[in-house]
């Protein structure tokens, strides 16, 4: 019985999410990859939040619940915790029921709101691919305008349900296969499997990475042992901007910054505007 109710809930949320996308037509920025999805999502949000009405995936819910909920509402961490995987089963059952009832009712009523300003202009969504078929399921809910492949790697995570790394790459490549020619695929120039995907899309390609030839290039990366942070420079079309990040020292955050800058360029922002937004908003 519990499984039947859960499947029914997933179905209702999926349909409401699809209708919400159809009604308000936000730009969808989709992020997938074996590593770096969350940091990329946060940097993109930091860059766009003062430019557009933007919302990004929150919480640690699985994709079948997490994506529809992001589409349907701007929920706090405390609200999402009630229905998250980490919340004890059976605890505060009334709160869980009330949360789902309010979410479904509000989402249905909002479909009849005539004002487009009642909804975000941009949704930044993580497209996880823990199992084969996950990307197809999520694309059935929301098709992106911009698709980001953070990295695949020779030994990607969550490979237990796939034959090999190539099977993982094939699943994640579905994200860019149906993009239109006016859309964008943002690919990791340093990742061979990610770059091999460019032959599978009609979209415009923008690349990021440390290697020479990337559209958005990272260079002069240094860790600062005193602050626990890092610094580097981002270059695009002959212009560059220095970036300093506090409390993070992994190159993954340089990659995330480059992804965010690439998205900023697509939305007409220059390097300085993007760098300033990261300094002000990125946490």
Q: Which domains does the chain have, with CATH numbers?
A: 2-281 (3.40.1190.10)
Q: Residue 261: its pLDDT value, please?
A: 97
User: In which order are the strands placed within the sheet that holds 239-245?
Assistant: 54-56, 122-126, 27-32, 146-149, 184-188, 204-209, 216-224, 229-236, 239-245
The per-residue pLDDT for 159 is 62
> Percentage of the chain surpassing pLDDT 70?
94
158 has a pLDDT exceeding 60: no
Give 74-131 pLDDT, tens digit per residue: 888 888 887 776 655 555 778 888 899 999 999 999 999 888 888 999 999 999 888 8
pLDDT at 88: 58
Per-residue pLDDT tens digits for 58-83 = 876 668 888 999 999 988 888 888 77
pLDDT top residue among 65 and 219: 219
Cα 36 to Cα 128: distance, rounded to the nearest angstrom:
12
- Say what the pTM is: 0.92
Look at residue 80 in the predicted model and tell me its pLDDT: 82
């Amino acid at each position: 019985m519990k499984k039947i109710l859960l499947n029914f809930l997933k179905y209702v949320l999926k349909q409401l999410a699809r209708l919400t996308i159809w009604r308000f037509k936000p730009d969808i920025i989709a992020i997938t990859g074996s590593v770096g999805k969350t940091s990329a999502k946060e940097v993109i949000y930091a860059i766009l939040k003062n430019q557009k009405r933007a919302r990004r995936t929150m919480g640690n819910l699985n994709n079948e619940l997490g994506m529809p909920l992001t589409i349907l509402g701007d929920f706090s961490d405390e609200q999402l915790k009630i229905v998250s995987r980490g919340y004890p089963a059976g605890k505060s059952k009334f709160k869980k029921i009330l949360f789902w009832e309010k979410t479904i009712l509000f989402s249905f009523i909002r479909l009849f709101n005539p004002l487009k300003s009642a909804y975000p202009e941009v949704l930044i969504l993580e497209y996880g691919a823990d199992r084969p078929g996950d990307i197809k399921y999520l694309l059935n809910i929301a098709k992106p305008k911009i698709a980001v492949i953070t990295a695949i790697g020779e030994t990607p995570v969550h490979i237990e349900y796939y034959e090999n790394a190539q099977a993982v790459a094939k699943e994640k490549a579905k994200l860019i296969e149906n993009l239109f020619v006016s859309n964008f695929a943002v690919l990791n120039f340093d990742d061979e499997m990610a770059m091999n995907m460019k032959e599978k899309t009609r979209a415009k390609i923008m690349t990021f990475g440390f290697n020479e030839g990337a559209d958005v290039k990272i260079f002069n990366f240094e860790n600062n042992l005193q602050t626990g942070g890092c610094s580097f420079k981002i270059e695009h079309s002959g212009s560059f901007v220095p970036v300093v990040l506090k409390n993070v020292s992994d190159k993954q955050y340089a990659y995330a910054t480059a992804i965010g800058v690439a998205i900023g360029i697509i939305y007409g922002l220059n390097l300085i505007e993007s760098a300033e937004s990261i300094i002000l908003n990125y946490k």
